Amino acid sequence: MTLEQAQAEVDHWIKTIGVRYFNELTNTAILMEEVGELARIMARTYGEQSFKAGDKESDISDEMADVLWVLICLANQTGVNLTEAFKKNMDKKTKRDKDRHQGNEKLSDGK
């Protein structure tokens, strides 16, 4: 599935099952909530925190998908074509960082 297809699928779902989009501010707050849920799992899986009893059933891929879902909602609401935005962002990063990371001693295997 492409980003464009994902945007269309989310829009269709919202309009046929979800009734309507939450407003942009509500969706921004929901996005922050979803990022927080993902951060909690990351901290417990890869960081130094331990899981609480209720956290064991957390699914990192589902939390990432929740973040993507709300981001797609916001893109749809604000008229952002994520395919084009991502292409432009990749070009920007490539031009800006084409030599930057290669010479970074912190990123070399020798650490």
72-107 confidence digits (pLDDT tens): 999 999 999 999 999 999 999 999 988 888 878 888
Residue 28 lies in a domain: yes
Mind listing the pLDDT tens digit for each residue in 16-28?
A: 999 999 999 999 9
pLDDT given for residue 109 in this prediction: 74
14/49 Cα distance (integer angstroms): 36
- Domain CATH number, residue 61: 1.10.287.1080
CA atoms within 13 A on the CB side of 87: 7
Distance from the first to the final alpha carbon of the chain:
38
Residue 45 lies in a domain: yes
- Asked if 75 and 7 count as a contact pair (C-beta separation under 8 A), the reply is yes
Residue 103 lies in a domain: no
Mean pLDDT of the chain: 93
Is the pTM higher than 0.85? yes
Residue 111 lies in a domain: no
Mind listing the pLDDT tens digit for each residue in 42-60?
A: 999 999 988 887 776 779 9
Residue 50 lies in a domain: yes
Q: Is the pLDDT of residue 111 over 70?
A: no
Q: Is the pLDDT of residue 108 over 70?
A: yes
